Structure 1
Amino acid sequence: MVLCIDYFWLKYKKIKPSFDKDLFNADVEGSGYEYPMVLIQILMCNEKEVYEQSISAICQIDWPKDHLLVQVLDDSDDESIQWLIKAEVSKWSQRGINIIYRHHLVRTGYKARNLKSTMSCDYVKRYEFVAIFNADFQPNPDFLKQTVTHFKDNSKLGLVQARWSFVNKDVNLLTRMQNANICFHFEVDQQVNGVLFGFNGTTGVWRIKTLEDSGGWLERTTVEDMDIAVRAHINGWKFIYLNDVKVH
């Protein structure tokens, strides 16, 4: 009952994070905006059904090619799926996209170990931000322009988190109920400004310095997203949640 009241109160009062529209203008074309170096990581594990759509969507993100690197981080133990993913990466590489494939040979530690080992690569030092996506998410082309620009002139901002949306939400009663439950989480739990909330594990952009300052990804837990978020908050980093930026 209390949660329902909270939800309708937020709707009635139209409470949502407020940002400086002039400072964080998503339309940066022709504005003299200096595009920072951005790393995009797509995490996969035997994702035969969605790997192609995910890689395709991310390779079509609108950002200068020389300021962007896409990493496909594959935990698959099925060699046939590994070859499919490699072929898709090769296809986009031949089209001029800066994209690389990394297969995680040591599977202990799962997602956290995969992220940790990747962030230790020497070339990562060239990048200022990292956007993280699970394989079943396909961002719109303007995703980085709607998120990365929020870091401008905000040196203590460590994470910009976007909202999830679902393409199959109206398939049946079960999917409608699941959608209502998760939408409630985003509308109430995260529709706040300046209050602690966790990284959702995907559709977020981190300042790489924040990850380093907070000890990086640790394999001690299976909820590495919340673990790193708590450590970042303790170290004084701020988060922004963008309810209007949806990734399906």
Structure 2
Amino acid sequence: MDPLEIAVVVAYVAVLLVLSLYGSHRYVMAYLYYRHKYKLPTPQGRFQALPRVTIQLPIFNEMYVVERLVEAVCKIAYPRDLLEIQVLDDSIDETREIARRCVERWREQGIDIAYIHRTNRQGFKAGALENGLKLAKGEFVAVFDADFVPEPDFLEKTVHFFTDPGIGMVQVRWEHLNRSYSALTQAQSIFLDGHFVIEHTARNRSGCFFNFNGTAGVWRRETIASAGGWQHDTLTEDLDLSYRAQLAGWRFVFLPQVVAPAEIPVEMNAFKSQQHRWAKGSIQTALKLLPRIFASDLPFQVKKEAFFHLTANFAYLLMIPLAVLMPISVIVRVSHGWFEVLLLDIPFFAAATLSVCSFYVASQREIGASRWQQLKYLPFLMALGIGLSVNNARAVVEALLGHQTGFTRTPKLGVRKAGEPVAKKRYKAAITWQPVVELSLAIYMTYGILFVIDRGVYYSLPFLFLFQAGYGYVGLKSLLEGTRDLWARLGLMQAQPDVEPGA
């Protein structure tokens, strides 16, 4: 082998090694989950006199879901003289009038609810929460995003944990209103179940840091202030504040048995926009806080888990070179008769892929899904995770380069059942160049598939098929949605009557 061929194989194995390390960490999460599964959190006591609570509802252009949100929050069972609701509206469309009228209706029914509208989006969601906090009357602050529909007993099941003066935040598990809408929403639901059911429980009950998820949680107001308040130098203000609060000595509680239903994106481009924000924000938070974490006197286990948690999205950055190197590596080794060396891939792929399968199967089993439900989406889940790598790798690179972008909201369309129309909905994710790259990688993987079939190296086919299917599905679906939305926008523009400039 010449030096270039050796370099290709070495680089390929190195990438696989790092990815298998991150993949194997899921085994650690599963182990910690089952080890601490029955360590159920219970409140230290119950308030004799209930505290005042403020519920903040940050919204931006949420015309399809804002009334549903406000109605659900106003029906939360809590003494009316101790409950305050803030609708923090930064909208620039009809949502303003819809939300204002909705607030007035509920205020007339005796609800202490305020409509707070900002004329700028400084700090985006973090800025809205910070602004609302200046006016809030509550000792404790709950937050719900626009796509949530909290249960009436939400506060009854969470607030009493604050009888322990060391508890700074209580987070509940997300449930999914439109889980069965499509294969895409099914896959997203499984992704989120793994995060909440396994990861959150494992981290919280083993004494490691975990995070408030931006919604469906309650904060002690003192905790927010002592940790430095809401800051907007990352795209994940929730993750940032969570780690700062725990560094300051506050303890958090996760309640997997308490759920808050929410809508998840039904369109690929909206899903990718959300994933991009989460991936970029997590790396920004890692760059900001990992030095403080490593310099602290926290136990090694806590530091190690914080590292894996905050840097997990680096794996997506490595998926791109893996995709490029995989067919080349196979060609190089086969051309030199190194069929046996190809077998070294199997342990790496087992660590990087089988761990993911077992992780998500465990999460579905824990929420009571049937055996068929646990297994049938696994290939699609794996392919979708691979297909997202271009999108999330871009997010990681932007974070590493310090490229600042605004907070891009995830469009909420208020749909639950399959067949509900979305094409005519106003809110759409931005159209990007990414589908071209994703489809190019799918075509490239097709060449690798044809090569290994020709050479009879059939064991490589499942991995190549996953990469081809993942990039092909994500790229094609994104492109079709973008084309549809572009034509819809052009049609809308043509339908507008001509007006004088400045009219």
Where does residue 125 of structure 2 map in the other structure? Answer: 111
Quick one: distance in 2 between partners of 1:77 and 1:40? 22
CA offsets per residue over residues 141-175 of structure 1, 9 Å max, x none? 100010011111x1110000011010111122111
Q: 1:216 is matched with which residue: 229, 237, 245?
A: 229
Contact 1:159–1:205 at 8 Å: present in 2 too?
Answer: yes
- The whole-number CA distance in structure 1 between the counterparts of 2:248 and 2:33 is 32
Quote the residue 2:187 is aligned against. 177
Q: Partners of 1:12 and 1:65 in 2: how far apart?
A: 40
Partner-residue secondary structure (3-state), 1:191: helix
Distance 1:61 1:225 in 2: 23
Whether the 8 Å CA contact 2:52–2:139 is kept in 1: the answer is: yes
Give how far 1:120 is off: 1.7
Matched residue, 2:60: 45
Scaled by the length of structure 1, what TM-score is found?
Answer: 0.89
CA 6–151 in structure 1, closer or farther in 2 if over 3 Å, else same: same
What code does the residue aligned with 2:134 have? S
1:61 aligns with 2:83: no
User: Hey, what does 1:2 align to over in structure 2?
Assistant: 24
State the alpha-carbon separation in 2 of the partners of residues 139 and 162 from structure 1. 10
Cα offsets for 1:128-147 (capped at 9, x unmatched): 10000001111111000100
- Aligned residues between the structures: 236
Report the Cα distance in structure 2 between the residues aligned to 1:215 and 1:113, rounded to whole angstroms: 13
8 Å contact from structure 1 (residues 7, 184) kept in 2: no
| Alignment partners' CA distance in 2, 1:156 and 1:169 | 36
TM-score by length of 2: 0.45
Correspondence 1:86 to 2:103:
no
Structure 1, gaps ≥5 residues long = 26-31
- Asked if the contact 1:161/1:199 (under 8 Å) is kept, the reply is yes
Bigger mean CA offset, 34-43 vs 104-113: 104-113
1:6, CA displacement in angstroms? Answer: 4.9
**In structure 2, the residue corresponding to 1:190 is in which secondary structure?**
helix
2:170, 2:219 within 8 Å by CA — same for their partners in 1?
yes
Counterparts of 1:5 and 1:180 in 2: how far apart (Å)?
Answer: 17
Q: Which has the higher strand share?
A: 1
- Bigger relative contact order (CA 8 A; separation at least 6): 1
Partners of 1:174 and 1:81 in 2: CA distance = 27
Deviation larger for 175-184 or 186-195: 186-195
- Contact kept in structure 1, 2:30 and 2:198, CA below 8 Å: no
Give the C-alpha shift of residue 43 in structure 1. Answer: 1.1
The counterpart of 2:198, out of the listed 188, 192, 202, is 188
Aligned partners of 1:168, 1:33: CA distance in 2, in Å? 39
Residue deviations 1:164-217 (CA, integer Å, cap 9, x gap): 010111122111111111100012210131320111000010000000111111
AA matched with 1:89: V
- Per the TM alignment, residue 232 of structure 1 is displaced from its structure 2 partner at its CA by 0.3
Whether 2:110 is the aligned partner of 1:96: answer yes
CA drift at 1:219: 2.1
| C-alpha separation in 2, matches of 1:85 and 1:17 | 42
| Deviation at residue 33 of structure 1 after TM alignment | 2.6
Correspondence for 2:175 among 162, 165, 186: 165
**Bigger CA drift: 217-226 or 127-136?**
217-226
In structure 1, the partner of 2:485 is none
Q: Which is greater in Rg?
A: 2
Q: Counterpart in 1 of 2:284?
A: none
Between Structure 1 and Structure 2, the one with more helix by share is 2
Distance 2:107 2:166 in 1: 35
Q: After the TM superposition, which segments of 4 or more aligned residues of structure 1 sit over 6 Å from their partners?
A: none
Asked whether the equivalents of residues 7 and 187 of structure 1 are also in contact (C-alpha less than 8 Å), the reply is no
What is the match of residue 19 of structure 1? 41
Offset from partner CA, 1:63-95 (integer Å, 9 cap, x none) = 0000010000001111x2200110000010001
Change in CA separation of 1:74 and 1:17 when aligned onto 2, cut-off 3 Å: farther
Q: 1:147 aligns with which of 149, 155, 158?
A: 158
2:148 aligned partner: 137
CA gap 1:150/1:170 in 2 versus in 1, 3 angstroms: same
Higher deviation after alignment, 2-11 or 100-109: 2-11
Distance 1:106 1:86 in 2: 17
Could you report, residue by residue, the CA deviation over 1:46-75 in whole angstroms, capped at 9, with x for unpaired residues? 111111111000000000000010000001
One-letter amino acid of the structure 2 residue matched with residue 58 of structure 1: V
| Whole-angstrom CA distance in 2 between matches of 1:155 and 1:13 | 27
- Let me know the Cα RMSD of the aligned residues: 1.9
1:105/1:169 CA distance change after superposition, 3 Å: same
Residue 6 of structure 1 contacts residue 188 of structure 1 at CA under 8 Å; is this kept in 2?
no
